[in-house]
């Protein structure tokens, strides 16, 4: 973790975090588009929606702290995340990639919370850590189920209603 974000200010970390949330939302939308099962699609579209909300939260915090709306992402000051090649990867690879990304987001937000001297910003970052832990738990559950019943992810019929 220290190597990834060492030397970044809280403002720069917010820029990185916003970029990560944008990338995560796109990744989850892309993932949903590749899974035939509408129940599983919905789970990933929900993740995408939550990542968009996280981005909005982070953008509001950035604006509150700086007064600016254009968020610069620091280039070259941190290790860029690995890219994901949908053409060369399996669904299991995608789930593992997403789990790693959620863990990295947790580390990023925890590091930013530790360095934050602003109580409001610290609370927001601590909240995001917990939210990303929930994403990780959900993805681990999906990965475990995929390993047991991969054909479920290929079902195209909405066989039952899950949830409220």
For the chain, list the domains and their CATH numbers.
7-69+85-154 (1.20.1260.10)
Name the pLDDT band for 3 (thresholds 50, 70, 90).
very low
pLDDT at 79 over 80: no
Percent helix / strand / coil, the chain, rounded to 5:
75, 0, 25
pLDDT (0 to 100) of residue 1 = 36
pLDDT (0 to 100) of residue 157 = 66
Answer whether 108's CB lies under 8 Å from 5's CB: yes
- Reported as type and span, the H/E element at residue 45 is helix 38-66
Collapsing DSSP states into helix, strand and coil, what is residue 98?
helix
The strand ranges marked E within the chain are none
Handedness of CA 85, 145, 140, 156 (dihedral sign): positive
Calculate the CA dihedral of residues 57, 93, 4, 134 and round it to 10 degrees. 40
Q: Mind listing the pLDDT tens digit for each residue in 44-69? A: 999 999 999 999 988 998 898 889 88
């Amino acid at each position: 973790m220290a190597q990834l974000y060492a030397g970044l200010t809280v403002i720069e970390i917010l820029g990185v975090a916003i970029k990560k949330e944008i990338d995560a939302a796109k990744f989850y939308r892309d993932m949903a588009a590749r899974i035939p099962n509408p129940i599983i699609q919905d789970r990933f579209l929900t993740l995408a929606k939550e990542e968009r909300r996280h981005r909005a939260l982070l953008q509001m915090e950035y604006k509150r702290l700086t007064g600016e709306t254009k968020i610069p992402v620091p280039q070259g000051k941190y290790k860029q995340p690995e890219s994901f090649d949908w053409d060369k990867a399996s669904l299991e690879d995608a789930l593992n990639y997403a789990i790693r990304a959620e863990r990295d987001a947790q580390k990023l937000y925890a590091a930013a919370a530790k360095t934050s001297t602003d109580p409001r910003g610290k609370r927001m970052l601590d909240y995001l850590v917990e939210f990303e832990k929930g994403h990780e738990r959900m993805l681990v559950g999906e990965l475990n189920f995929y390993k047991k019943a991969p054909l479920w992810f290929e079902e195209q019929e909405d066989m039952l209603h899950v949830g409220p």
